[in-house]
Structure 1
Amino acid sequence: MKYIKSVLFIFFTTVSFLSFAQNANSRVEASFDNDWSFKQEDVVGAEKPEYADAGWRKLSVPHDWSIEGEYDKLNATGRGGGYLPSGIGWYRKRFTLADDQKDKKISIEFDGVLANSEVFINGKSLGKRPNGYSGFSYDLTSFLNFGKGKSNVIAVKADNSVQPASRYYAGAGIYRHVRLVTTNPIHFDHWGVFVRTKKSDAKQAELSVEMNLTNESNSPSSVELQVSIISPSGKTVKTITSTKQNLTASGKLNYAQLLTIDQPELWDVESPNLYKAVTKIISGGKEIDQKTTEFGIREARFEAASGFWLNDKNIKIKGVCLHHDAGSLGAAVPLSAWERRFKLLKEVGVNAIRVGHNPASPEFMSLCDKMGIMVMNETFDTWTTSKNNGENGYNLYFKDWWERDTRDLALRDRNHPSVVIYSVGNEIRDNLDSPEGFKKYKDQQDLIHSIIPDMPVTMALFRPSASKVYTNGFAQTMDIVGQNYRESELVNFHEANPTQKVIGTENGHTQAGWLILRDKPYMAGQFLWTGFNYLGEADWPEVTNNQGLFDISGRWRTEGLQRQSWWSDKPVVHLVRRDDNAGKGDWVANWTPSDFDTYDIANVQVYSNCEEVELFLNGKSQGVKPKPANDSPRNWELNFEKGTIKAVGRNGGKDVSFEEFKTAFEPAKIVLEVEKSSISNNWDDVVYVTAKVVDKDGNLCPNATPLINFSISENAEIVAVENGFNASHEKFKDTKRFAYKGSCNAIIRAKASNGEITITAKSEDLTSGTTKISIK
């Protein structure tokens, strides 16, 4: 919770400060999320300010209207889009501006609109953006009305009607945040400040603060540029003001301020220390613009022989791939939902995320900074050649838009210390055994290098032997050679080319793959597919892809339990058994068979990193087994008995970890569990409430599937419900859900600024459960 509190505190204090700064003739960045009108259809004339939208739905953004829809096998999105609806949606918002704003530059910034957006102000088109994952900004100034009684209307058309457009769930609408930005005519550019660490160690860091300015007035000006560095504890450790710089009328200025920081607090995965650079433009002794840029001081590098180094420490990148949806929340994901997921991943031992296969939101990236999670940033899933189930996707726009989209992502994310590598493509099907294929890759790599010097670039190669990239010289042009799966091929390539740096860009949950990462010093890291199950890329009746360490509700899957035994530094013991008799069925983590009459032989596995594990059934030892050299699980075959099964892990002869399960009786009641006791009245703050079906003794009933009805007090709302079942076709936007494996979730958000929220869960023949959460 401390991470989300930090982010929300920064948000609120920034708004407060900027309101003050406006009086000082500086910049104002105001949320533009509230009070939109929405219509889920194509509407003729909706861009016109006089259009009558009184009957439209009132809502705030971020908003994903696709996730609110019904599953249907015939929906045009198909298996890629998870069989959820597509189409056209319009958003409109009316706002006014005071007369004293006439001399200002006013822009609107969108963090992402899915997809093929077009934005209008007072009936004038500002432009289109095909890529729904790109952030963008439009200058509104010359089209605005100022003064009392004069309103402005901004209208946004989001069109994902041409399908299939994605191999995985994309979403629909203004699904990320929006801001209205007011500056003086002389101002920092959008993403116009870059704090670059040129050199760093524990004694001293050399920084370059690069500032890009624009003068949108008709008069030249003389300005000073001031940089203040704020330490992680909030102290100003350095302030430098430049000599006067001449800025021509309608001109631009690029200026770099060099400075040093003594005894810097370095950013790493264990201590993610973050600094702030407060940059100001001063003219005639007055501040006319200011930006605060968060950054980290760290040195990251890849070596061909020894893999990845962070601040001169050789570590393995233990990563997962994540799509941008969060299950029942769709594409419009509150920050606290990402925080919940990141905490679970860190429990496994994950220290890195590959954003697959599109840019994530700005707050997602900032949370990685704050929580010490490294990032492989990624641009595209396709170049010009389409893929199955996504034939009408970005491949239609790559030729005209790749440069703009890549440039904008690199500019937006260049200050994030968490980003240690870029990928410019995932399993690209363009011909890489051709001059054109070489050029497409090199152009993208060169562009990123020009914006972020020293940033390594890779791509997730697809079947490199078949595409000939290991023999035609293509792989040798890459900063780091990345490959999906087939880990032994990557090993063979490196050992034949020992000067090449290598990384697994996408990997399965196999033991063989883990041993390659563990035992090959040159293997910099791996990114598992995936951290969480995700919507789409599934065959009906399933609508969710089932390859995660966790399901969409955050329930541990056996892949996550085993991976924790390989990746965690803490003692780990996890107990699983075959669900069906005599070694048949899936692995499950319980001691309650679905059919007691036919279950008599239990195949049991224990995932553990402990030196030895002893298994007990109803207090009787079933034997002690040492840790295998290849980290494989320890196995037992038992005659099933109702009662308690327990696995105990020992190091040095001492008990260090254990796990036990008890056989559950008949379902008796619902117990509600919450992961935090308070919530703020903010869109980005939600709380997951888990309804568990338990027996009279409080043991989870893993085979119970009753329909659970949630109700909530008027000071809050139920945002979504979910249960993690991959073939569930229930609507997420609801107040009821069938339990799966004995539980389901309700995700709630506050609607008031204080008070206490009461949540109740009921089901026929079960005692109801109730819990309370305070609003702060």
Structure 2
Amino acid sequence: MSRVTNINKGWKFVLKECERESLIVSEMKEIKLPHTWNGIDGQDGGNDYYRGVGWYVKELEIEENHHGRIFLDFQGVNSVCDVYLNGQHMGKHEGGYSGFRYDITDYVSSDNILEVAVDNSHIEDVYPLFADFTFYGGIYRDVNIIYTDDIHFDLLDLASSGIYVSQKNITNEKAEVNILAKVVNSGNPSEVGCQISWVDENGGIILTDEQIKTIEKQGEFSFDIEIHNPNLWNGIENPYLYNVIVTLATGNEEIDRKEIPTGLRYFKFDEQEGFFLNGRHMKLRGVSRHQDRESVGNALTEEHQIEDMELIKEVGANSIRLAHYQHNQFFYDLCDKAGMVVWAEIPYISKTSDIDNTASNAIIQMRELIRQNYNHASILMWGVQNEIGIMEEKKSLEQIVREIHDVAKEEDTTRVTTQAQVMMTPEDDPSHYVTDIMAWNKYYGWYVDEVEDFEIFINSFRSKNPNRAFGISEYGAEGILSWHTDNPKVKDYSEEYHALYHEKALKIFNKYDFVWGTYVWNMFDFGSDMRDEGGVKGRNNKGLVTFDRTTRKDAFYWYQSMWSKKPMIHINSKRFVERHTDNIEVKVYSNQDNVTLMNNGNPIELLKKDGTIFLFRVDLTEGDNEIVAVAGDLKDSIIFKKVAEKNMKYVLPEEETKKGIMVNNDENVKNWFSMDLDETIEDFEFKKGYYSIKDKISAILENEEGESVLRKYLCSMLEHEMFNMIKGMPLSSVFSLQKDMFPKLLQLNVNKELSKIKKDVI
């Protein structure tokens, strides 16, 4: 029988770029897995976290007298990994988020030394190459030893279970299912029996089937079965899971067994009406999740992952985009059990390799993602790319998307493919039609324009693409708990604007059923060591919950009021305690019909009710003002303090507001105006055959004179850590992203100088 032994304890570790032979184990520190070396420096800003080689060494105890095969099972190592056992190279794995295995049977001895070299440095043909999150190095998921008989389910089928449960035709009345079991025999040819049992949640056996074959080196068993009147996996309302038990036997002895939790469901993405699960319309109320957390990086325990799921359930979401890579198998299991509709994707993000434009590593990671997660009922979508169009590519976006889409369809015809288009991709780009469905990363109201422009975009894209099913894969704004205001506005980084942004966006999305789903970016704040925004270094602060998972921001409660059936009430701006005005507007979120508010025991008249938003105008008295909100048995309270003067600790310093992904500091902005700018330019001139701000930055930089112009006016932008994210964009698009950073006078001068440079004619 197969047995799994966890070997997370008893490792030695050192950060050192060296040959294996030069390792001195006595000088290495003791650690246990999961482990990352970037839990601190990958989150403190500066884009200077250690990216290089770390060595892990372990004395490996192997069961004596085991007759069969022995495998090493790695569930996640970031990002390139070389494994040695007793000095023998077992193999190299390239890709930091999928599992991999090695058969070590022929290399074990009485004393075994396992050595693992892990490298998270930039490697130009291993994805991801560039992204707005930290690439934590280390063996950050479990490592196991798996013992099997000579005859066993294939564990080297890209580290899958070797068993694939395919839902061929599912209805409310009948489920047609195929179960494929891949079997390997490393011994003599043998007659092998394979039995399947379909078991309900109470342990009752619904049906069984068995086949017997002679297996020489490898073989397959395929079962076509029917389940009548199935209990369907119905999302968060009823995530019903059957148990498919698959066993192998020789003679009367069972030699291998797998149990596959299986939820039966059918679904459709309709171009006109949106998403349907089991024949019922369902708006996918989604959040996106990065797997890391404060001081821990991506070395999560099961308790961490359970806490994440509980928070996602609490907010009332019914769908999760697991960005931007394969997540832990344990978390996919949690999604199955919770009824979450899942978008799973590979780390093919932002940029294609400069040395391999076939994206071969992305294709391998797609195959790994699908085979390792094929049996998860929660997964309905395979994501093939995220924002690849943000940088200039040698291939067209359409060609890139098609190649990976075709691989996904080769691996799995039972689910749909999707993609997340970057916000500046043209609305008529043919790549939109390559995947089965598609979605947009749009940040109206944060990086560009106003939140209300979501409505303009949705109607515009719809008019140009009337038969295209699409969703919103990312939207969000930074919300930092330190900053507060009575008058929230874009780029003030306040918790109040963060909440107001999400109020406006969700109300717009809810108008359109054909928008099949929306995904908040992000459920949790996450590490991005290159960032320095809003007075916080090394972090993306768009989460509904803080990086350490201890604090739910006000926007969390907005979604809860709209999405959750559990009665709730919440007073906003509780961290904005000291108030200097005579009266304030108090906002309460509640999914109850009525809310009453009192200040120091005195009732306050309701000013306005807008769905789940209750607004009150409260006159403040000197000192403490105890505000109590009540809805039935629900109660929430806070004390606001009336003070004489505005407390500036709640206001982001002006120099910090000038920071962002495009400009380093306020001094750079001032330098623009100290230049001798020509104020007589009346309008932009775009001459055929000459450069302009409409050209991509990368194209302008290829011209020596063009580079000089950009360095003259925009040197700080060119030297910014996140410049690679924008250099494939037209310069005019970058200007529109941060209008306050690039005044029109500056734009006119840049364009005027570019318009003097003639393009080379090829």
Do Structure 1 and Structure 2 share a fold, with TM-score over 0.5? yes
| Shift of residue 529, structure 1, vs aligned partner | 0.5
| Shift of residue 99, structure 1, vs aligned partner | 5.2
Rate the CA distance shift 1:445–1:640 in 2: closer, same or farther, 3 A. Answer: farther
1:361 aligns with 2:328: yes
1:239 and 1:72 map into 2 onto residues whose CA distance is 56
Q: Is the CA contact 1:46–1:155 (under 8 Å) kept in the aligned structure 2?
A: no
Partner residue in 2 for 1:95: 60
Output aligned runs, 1:219-368, within 5 Å: 219-242=188-211, 244-247=212-215, 249-250=216-217, 252-267=218-233, 268-368=235-335
Q: How many residues are matched?
A: 593
1:215 and 1:158 map into 2 onto residues whose CA distance is 32
Q: Is the CA contact 1:385–1:430 (under 8 Å) kept in the aligned structure 2?
A: no
Output aligned runs, 1:101-140, within 5 Å: 101=66, 103-140=67-104
Give CA deviations for 1:342-371 in whole Å, capped at 9, x if unaligned. Answer: 222222211111111111111111111122
Q: Is the CA contact 2:167–2:177 (under 8 Å) kept in the aligned structure 1?
A: yes
Rate the CA distance shift 1:185–1:440 in 2: closer, same or farther, 3 A. Answer: farther
Q: Is the CA contact 1:354–1:377 (under 8 Å) kept in the aligned structure 2?
A: yes
Rate the CA distance shift 1:534–1:136 in 2: closer, same or farther, 3 A. Answer: same
- Runs ≥4 residues deviating over 6 A: 395-398, 430-435
- Secondary structure in 2 matching 1:107: strand
- Secondary structure in 1 matching 2:589: strand
| Shift of residue 433, structure 1, vs aligned partner | 9.5
Give the gaps of 5 or more residues in structure 2: 124-128, 445-453, 477-500, 643-648, 651-762
Output aligned runs, 1:168-179, within 5 Å: 168-179=133-144
- The amino acid that maps onto 1:478 is T
Mean CA deviation greater in 335-344 or 608-617: 608-617
2:540 and 2:68 map into 1 onto residues whose CA distance is 49
Q: Is the CA contact 1:433–1:467 (under 8 Å) kept in the aligned structure 2?
A: no
Partner residue in 2 for 1:774: none
Equivalent of 1:550 in 527, 537, 545:
545
Equivalent of 2:617 in 636, 653, 669:
636
1:186 and 1:438 map into 2 onto residues whose CA distance is 44
Rate the CA distance shift 1:640–1:380 in 2: closer, same or farther, 3 A. Answer: farther
Equivalent of 1:188 in 147, 150, 153:
153
Partner residue in 1 for 2:590: 608
Q: Is the CA contact 1:613–1:626 (under 8 Å) kept in the aligned structure 2?
A: no
Give CA deviations for 1:288-332 in whole Å, capped at 9, x if unaligned. Answer: 322222221222221112211112221111111111102232111
1:520 aligns with 2:512: yes
Give CA deviations for 1:678-721 in whole Å, capped at 9, x if unaligned. Answer: xxxxxxxxxxxxxxxxxxxxxxxxx99xxxxxxxxxxxxxxxxx
Rate the CA distance shift 1:569–1:96 in 2: closer, same or farther, 3 A. Answer: closer
- Secondary structure in 2 matching 1:269: helix
1:266 and 1:72 map into 2 onto residues whose CA distance is 46
Partner residue in 2 for 1:589: 574
Partner residue in 1 for 2:638: 661
1:446 aligns with 2:418: no
Q: Is the CA contact 1:611–1:627 (under 8 Å) kept in the aligned structure 2?
A: no
1:529 aligns with 2:506: no
Equivalent of 1:459 in 415, 419, 422:
419
Give CA deviations for 1:469-514 in whole Å, capped at 9, x if unaligned. Answer: x324221222012111154434432344332211111122533431
Rate the CA distance shift 1:544–1:384 in 2: closer, same or farther, 3 A. Answer: closer
Rate the CA distance shift 1:430–1:626 in 2: closer, same or farther, 3 A. Answer: closer
Structure with more of its chain in strand, by fraction: 1
Equivalent of 1:500 in 452, 464, 468:
468
With normalisation by structure 2, the TM-score equals 0.72
Rate the CA distance shift 1:398–1:345 in 2: closer, same or farther, 3 A. Answer: farther
2:597 and 2:339 map into 1 onto residues whose CA distance is 36
1:399 aligns with 2:399: no
Partner residue in 2 for 1:473: 430
Partner residue in 2 for 1:715: none
Equivalent of 2:563 in 564, 567, 582:
567
Partner residue in 1 for 2:8: 33
Give CA deviations for 1:260-279 in whole Å, capped at 9, x if unaligned. Answer: 23443322212222222121
- The amino acid that maps onto 2:168 is K
- Secondary structure in 2 matching 1:532: coil
Partner residue in 2 for 1:484: 441
1:72 and 1:590 map into 2 onto residues whose CA distance is 24
2:40 and 2:412 map into 1 onto residues whose CA distance is 39
| Shift of residue 436, structure 1, vs aligned partner | 4.6
Partner residue in 1 for 2:484: none
1:158 and 1:166 map into 2 onto residues whose CA distance is 20
- The amino acid that maps onto 1:499 is N
Q: Is the CA contact 1:604–1:638 (under 8 Å) kept in the aligned structure 2?
A: no
| Shift of residue 227, structure 1, vs aligned partner | 0.5
Q: Is the CA contact 1:516–1:523 (under 8 Å) kept in the aligned structure 2?
A: no
Rate the CA distance shift 1:180–1:664 in 2: closer, same or farther, 3 A. Answer: farther
Rate the CA distance shift 1:398–1:34 in 2: closer, same or farther, 3 A. Answer: farther
1:515 and 1:98 map into 2 onto residues whose CA distance is 60
Mean CA deviation greater in 127-136 or 490-499: 490-499
Structure with more of its chain in helix, by fraction: 2
Q: Over aligned residues, Cα RMSD in angstroms?
A: 2.9
| Shift of residue 435, structure 1, vs aligned partner | 6.5
| Shift of residue 524, structure 1, vs aligned partner | 1.0
| Shift of residue 516, structure 1, vs aligned partner | 3.2
Give the gaps of 5 or more residues in structure 1: 1-25, 387-391, 577-587, 650-654, 666-702, 705-776
Rate the CA distance shift 1:638–1:87 in 2: closer, same or farther, 3 A. Answer: farther
1:414 and 1:455 map into 2 onto residues whose CA distance is 10
Partner residue in 2 for 1:60: 32
- Secondary structure in 1 matching 2:557: helix
With normalisation by structure 1, the TM-score equals 0.71
Rate the CA distance shift 1:71–1:212 in 2: closer, same or farther, 3 A. Answer: closer
1:379 and 1:520 map into 2 onto residues whose CA distance is 29
1:311 and 1:339 map into 2 onto residues whose CA distance is 27
Give CA deviations for 1:425-475 in whole Å, capped at 9, x if unaligned. Answer: 111137799865323212211222222222111110013xx533x324221
Over the matched positions of the two proteins, sequence identity in percent amounts to 26
1:624 aligns with 2:588: no
| Shift of residue 632, structure 1, vs aligned partner | 5.8
- Secondary structure in 1 matching 2:510: helix
2:35 and 2:356 map into 1 onto residues whose CA distance is 25
1:158 and 1:603 map into 2 onto residues whose CA distance is 54
Q: Is the CA contact 2:242–2:263 (under 8 Å) kept in the aligned structure 1?
A: yes
1:431 and 1:343 map into 2 onto residues whose CA distance is 37
Output aligned runs, 1:39-50, within 5 Å: 39-46=14-21
